[in-house]
Amino acid sequence: MCRPMASSAFTSATKFAGWRDYGTPCTYIKCIGDRAVPESKCDEYIARMQQAGVEVEVISMSCGHSPALVAPAALTEELLSSAAH
């Protein structure tokens, strides 16, 4: 269920991040057609993780902002494929 988020989620610095602080494998689902987060902003997020020394697997999907809602089977397939590597 989608719920409102505090604006601080977009303006506050992250104190802990699994991808940065704990070496958690990172897969970024880049949604082509996302009207909530522009593709340029996605690229910026990915670049910031890579600049921090994180290896990021990028999976592009042709869908909107919420692939779990609009393309759950395709998302599941992509994530299972990623986890198998």
CA distance 81 to 79: 5
**pLDDT, average across residues 4-28:** 83
Our CA angle for 16, 52, 46, nearest 5°, is 90
Give tens-digit pLDDT for 26-48. Answer: 899 999 999 999 999 999 999 99
* pTM score: 0.73
Structure tokens that stand for 35 in this block = 């009207």
Average pLDDT, the chain: 89
Q: How confident is the model at residue 70 (pLDDT cuts 50, 70, 90)?
A: very high
How far, in Å, CA of 49 to CA of 68, rounded? 23
List the structure tokens of 42: 């996605």
pLDDT of residue 32: 93
Closest CA to 78 of 69, 64, 67: 67
Residues 85 and 22: their CA atoms lie apart, in Å, by 19
pLDDT of the residue at 25: 82
